[in-house]
């Protein structure tokens, strides 16, 4: 009887991840990532001698859903990154702030993949690189 309670508690604790599991939705494509739309043309504004450029990256259809970023450049630096499209998935929602933080730190698309969100990370980096390339 002394073992029954710990066994029951550990069994329930082991089943919680199974209950919370959310399967991905297959988009029907055989490749993990394919470009759906090219990066947008840069939008430029100037105030106080600093040029601000806003560029949208390519939209990428991943196994988890579409991924697209918008990058704001202040002069030659990446000032901010915003997700225009992202999969509605818990791992993606957790990964996006980390990806944006890494981008601002690295000032490039050469950043680490977030563990548990590899597909979204790869789509993010590809869309980010397309935006950087479109800016010129």
**How many Cβ atoms are within 10 Å of 125's Cβ, its own excluded?**
23
Is a pLDDT exceeding 50 seen at residue 102? Answer: yes
pLDDT above 70 coverage of the chain, percent = 76
**Number of H-type helices and E-type strands within the chain:** 3, 6
Contacts of 80 (CB under 8 A, 6+ apart): 71, 72, 100, 104
pLDDT digits (tens, 9 = 90+) for 47-58: 556 788 899 999
The pLDDT tens digits of the residues spanning 4-19 come to 887 778 787 777 777 7
Say how far apart CA 44 and CA 73 lie, in whole Å. Answer: 9
């Amino acid at each position: 009887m002394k073992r029954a309670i710990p066994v029951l508690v550990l069994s329930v604790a082991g089943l919680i991840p199974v209950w919370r599991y959310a399967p991905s939705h297959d988009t029907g494509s055989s490749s993990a990532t394919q470009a759906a739309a090219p990066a947008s043309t840069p939008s430029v504004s100037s105030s106080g001698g600093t040029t601000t450029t806003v560029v949208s990256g390519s939209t990428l259809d991943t196994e988890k859903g579409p991924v697209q970023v918008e990058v704001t450049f202040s002069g030659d630096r990446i000032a901010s990154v915003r997700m225009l499209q992202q999969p509605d998935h818990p791992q993606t929602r957790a990964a996006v702030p980390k990806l944006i933080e890494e981008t601002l730190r690295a000032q490039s698309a050469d950043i680490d993949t977030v563990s548990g969100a590899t597909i979204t990370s790869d789509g993010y980096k590809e869309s980010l690189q397309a935006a950087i390339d479109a800016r010129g």
